[in-house]
Amino acid sequence: MAERAPHGAVASQRHDGILVLTIDNPPVNALSADVRRGLADAIQAAQDDASVQAVLLVGAGRNFIAGADIREFGKPPQPPALPDVCNAIEASAKPVVAALHGAALGGGLEIALAAHYRIALPGARLGLPEVNLGLLPGAGGTQRAPRLAGAAAALDLMLSGRHASAEEALSLGLVDRLDSGADALAAGLAYARELLAQGAAPRRTRDATAALADRAAAQAAIDAARAQVEARARGLFSPAKIIDAVQAALDQPFDAGLRTERALFLQCLDSPQRAGLVHAFFAERETAKAPETRAAQPRPLERLGVVGGGTMGAGIAVAMLDAGLPVVMVEQDDAALARGRARVEQVYDLLIKKGRLDAAGKAERMARYRGATSYDALADADLIVEAVFEDMDVKTAVFAALDRVAKPGAVLASNTSYLDIDRIAAATRRPADVLGLHFFSPANIMKLLEVVVGGRSAPDTVATGFELARRLRKVPVRAGVCDGFIANRILAVHRQAAELMMEDGASPYQIDDAVRAFGYPMGPYQMTDLAGGDIGWATRKRRAATRDPQLRYVQIADRLCERGWFGQKTGRGFYLYPDGARTGTPDPEVLAIIDAERQRAGITPRAFDQEEIQRRYLAAMINEAANVVREGIALRPLDVDVAFLYGYGFPRHRGGPMHYADQVGLPRILADIREFAPQDPHFWKPAPLLVELAESGRTFASLNHA
Ligand code: 3H9
């Protein structure tokens, strides 16, 4: 790690004939205007100073440079532009060396590629992740990376946005050598001295030809990438532009290629997808900072417990074991415990089969797993997650038992999906230690963790929930207590909108198509079939007595469940899955059942087009989300956005439902709801917050910084 420079965003320091430029712009050395200016001025000064023989670029703190300053996008550009800074570095008459440690990403890697020589330290992460922000590398990266690493490797990095290790970067030709130490300055100076001793001259990436010499191979890589993007990139804008830019690297002289890259970059910068993706980037960092995380320190988290070895309990245990933590799982008897353990092992066995884990990895994890049939085994756990049957009496009994055995200060969490945390907490003598930790299924894979804060949850209890999320690499979203919290409560409403459309004339296949066309990986009926129709059926039956009698209740899904058609696991649901197929095919019998249900309900079906399906689905979602924000269940609109991006696969390039609503315009969403209301006035009730914002010309975003 390099020392922080004492002053300025770019500090200059002489080490004999080597001018060391230290980029120092906490927290991640993003290339803000003052960094760009500092670099441009210092490179110019080096040219004018006869005593400077070489220039060394290093980053202060934990990273080299994390890229362009994302906060500047969408604001008026300030000179100098990053491509010009890179070109000035490349044009230097004195050799420029970059010593990379930590993140060398995006514009940071582009600076390094413009330098003449590169050395990387262990742990360095090199990447061109602009695609994740709806952009392409716009400071020469699309022209220089292929010239060093070839078209195939450069495309892979730019289209995946992944980070390459120092070792991989060396093998790709992106860096010239590795250092084994931990000091970027020392490694860079030693390399620069060695180069000077050899009389090394500037070596410009723009002139490199070897990696693109086999033009046929490069063209084949471009064609293959294009085919793959067309097949997979569901409406994304920037991947195709990245490929166009690499095509220019192959076809055009360097300076013309840079101009092409610039034009394509500006198109991406202007796109709503860029705005959505940048919103998502900041929103997911913001949700991790709940008020309680500022107000209190988390409690220790060394030993964990899970009550319940069902699908959720086992998934939660896996997530904890994967994070390197020891876990005690408690079940009521030996048979249930054996099933719980088997579920945990099953996850690892599947990973081994897929080649993503080895036997030693499984053994290491299972060595931290302990099963027990007595609550006493949880006596020294710092945090215990209850994941038993979704029933208030069962849950309160578990919490009363936990209250008896848990040590003072242990955090007691319920994984309930919709039950009242305050009532659960009241079953203990320590409600301040109780909160909800709502994992999504499969719990070891899904990133979202709703941290449900009860009326009496202590700030450090909540901070511990957020700390657990950090350790498990989950994305935490703070939620208040209500039926379904943030994600499930809103889901229930827009799922209802889908049910109404289905009974009114849209087929489930049409609805799934429309939702996929919007950018979701799958539609609601595919999701039901995947999760198992019996789960929703059980919930509907449990809630039948408390259902609002004024709301239309669509029974189609019940008719399928009564036949035992629970989706993929039974071979049929809304779709048919012959011979264990993973992708369903439409089922004419389902359509006949839907027809019969329409007749029973006295409904004459009408036609729906894709646009109307999308408008209804999203308006229902946004309207309920507005209620969730107004009631303080979600702290801000951005918390809803993050819950939907990570809980249900809302298309990230649309930023989340609230960001999307702002893009469309709140008056239009409100007009949609008012248009739909006459048919189902009990369902379509404009949310007061939506009305207030739309009528005062404000946006959901205006509440994000409140
Ligand atoms: C680009 O380079 C375009 C060019 O090709 C062309 C230009 C012409 N800017 O993630 P963390 C903030 S596009 C501004 O929690 P970590 C972040 O918001 C860019 N701010 O830390 C947070 O702020 P706060 C391509 C940034 O250690 C704080 O830094 N580069 C930027 O877990 C800490 O962040 C990327 O896409 C930024 N570029 O992870 C890389 N980056 O404390 C994006 C971070 O107020 N960054 N912040 O919440 C990352 O992937 C991770 O931040 C990184 C560190 C791996 C670097």
* DSSP secondary structure, 252-281, as one string: S-HHHHHHHHHHHHHHHHHSHHHHHHHHHH
State in Å: Cα 130 to ligand 1 middle.
Answer: 11
**362-404 confidence digits (pLDDT tens):** 999 999 999 999 999 999 999 999 999 888 999 999 999 999 9
Q: Which atom of ligand 1 is nearest to the CA of 129?
A: 36
Give the end of a domain, one of 428, 460, 481.
Answer: 481
State in Å: Cα 59 to ligand 1 middle.
Answer: 14
Note whether 447 and 525 are same-domain residues.
no
Q: What domain range includes position 27?
A: 10-251
Note whether 420 and 532 are same-domain residues.
no
Q: Confirm whether 293 is domain-assigned.
A: no
Q: Confirm whether 281 is domain-assigned.
A: no
Q: Is the CB of 192 under 6 A from ligand 1?
A: no
Quote the pLDDT of residue 232. Answer: 84
Note whether 474 and 521 are same-domain residues.
no
Smallest CA separation from ligand 1 atom 24, residue: 285
Q: Is the CB of 288 under 6 A from ligand 1?
A: no
Total tally of structural domains belonging to the chain: 3
Q: Which atom of ligand 1 is nearest to the CA of 107?
A: 2
Q: Is the CB of 133 under 6 A from ligand 1?
A: yes
The pTM assigned to this predicted structure is 0.94
CA 643, 645, 650, 656 torsion-angle sign: positive
Dist. CA 520–CA 516, nearest whole Å: 5
Q: Is the CB of 284 under 6 A from ligand 1?
A: no
Q: Which atom of ligand 1 is nearest to the CA of 71?
A: 14
Question: Could you give the angle at which helices 334-353 and 359-366 cross, rounded to 10 degrees?
Answer: 150
Q: Is the CB of 313 under 6 A from ligand 1?
A: no
Q: Confirm whether 595 is domain-assigned.
A: yes
Q: Which atom of ligand 1 is nearest to the CA of 289?
A: 48
Other C-beta atoms closer than 10 Å to the C-beta of 122 total 13
State in Å: Cα 203 to ligand 1 middle.
Answer: 29
Q: Confirm whether 456 is domain-assigned.
A: yes
Q: Which residues of 163-176 are buried (b: 16+ CB within 10 A; e: fewer)?
A: bbebebbbebbbbb
Note whether 491 and 609 are same-domain residues.
yes
Q: Is 94 helix (H, G, I), strand (E, B) or coil?
A: coil
Catalytic residue of the set 3, 72, 90, 130:
130
Quote the pLDDT of residue 6. Answer: 42
Q: Is 19 helix (H, G, I), strand (E, B) or coil?
A: strand
Note whether 218 and 110 are same-domain residues.
yes
Note whether 540 and 589 are same-domain residues.
yes
Q: Confirm whether 647 is domain-assigned.
A: yes
In this structure, the strands spanning 125-127 and 103-105 are parallel
Contact 299, 382 (CB under 8 A): yes
Give the end of a domain, one of 463, 481, 499.
Answer: 481
Note whether 507 and 443 are same-domain residues.
no
Note whether 339 and 468 are same-domain residues.
yes
Active site residue 167: no
Q: Which residues of the chain have pLDDT under 50?
A: 1-7
Note whether 53 and 109 are same-domain residues.
yes
Q: Which of 70, 75, 85, 262 to mutate to test the pocket of ligand 1 (most atoms within 8 A of CB)?
A: 70
Q: Confirm whether 596 is domain-assigned.
A: yes
Dist. CA 392–CA 136, nearest whole Å: 51
Q: Confirm whether 285 is domain-assigned.
A: no
Active site residue 130: yes
Which amino acid, 322?
D
Note whether 312 and 450 are same-domain residues.
yes
Give the tokens for residue 615: 């408008």
Quote the pLDDT of residue 483. Answer: 85
Quote the pLDDT of residue 498. Answer: 98
Q: Confirm whether 280 is domain-assigned.
A: no
Question: Domain of 694: which CATH number?
Answer: 1.10.1040.50
Q: Is the CB of 76 under 6 A from ligand 1?
A: no
Quote the pLDDT of residue 13. Answer: 96
Quote the pLDDT of residue 157. Answer: 98
Q: Which of 400, 158, 377, 404 is nearest to 265 (CA)?
A: 158
State in Å: Cα 262 to ligand 1 middle.
Answer: 22
Give the tokens for residue 562: 């009564």
Note whether 552 and 681 are same-domain residues.
yes
Question: Domain of 400: which CATH number?
Answer: 3.40.50.720
Tell me the chain's radius of gyration from C-alpha atoms.
28
Locate all alpha helices (DSSP H) within 505-562, ordered by sequence.
508-518, 524-531, 533-543, 556-562
Quote the pLDDT of residue 183. Answer: 97
Contact 399, 424 (CB under 8 A): yes
Quote the pLDDT of residue 706. Answer: 65
Note whether 230 and 364 are same-domain residues.
no
Give the end of a domain, one of 481, 503, 537.
Answer: 481
CA 178 to each of CA 99, 114, 122, 181: distance values in angstroms, whole numbers, following the listed order? 10, 18, 7, 9
Question: Domain of 104: which CATH number?
Answer: 3.90.226.10
Other C-beta atoms closer than 10 Å to the C-beta of 201 total 11
Tell me the DSSP string of 290-347: -HHHHH-PPPP-S-EEEE--SHHHHHHHHHHHHTT--EEEE-SSHHHHHHHHHHHHHH
State in Å: Cα 70 to ligand 1 middle.
Answer: 7
Residues ≥6 apart with Cβ < 8 Å to 87? 114, 140, 258
Residues ≥6 apart with Cβ < 8 Å to 215? 250
Quote the pLDDT of residue 234. Answer: 74
Catalytic residue of the set 90, 110, 450, 503:
110
State in Å: Cα 239 to ligand 1 middle.
Answer: 20
State in Å: Cα 29 to ligand 1 middle.
Answer: 9
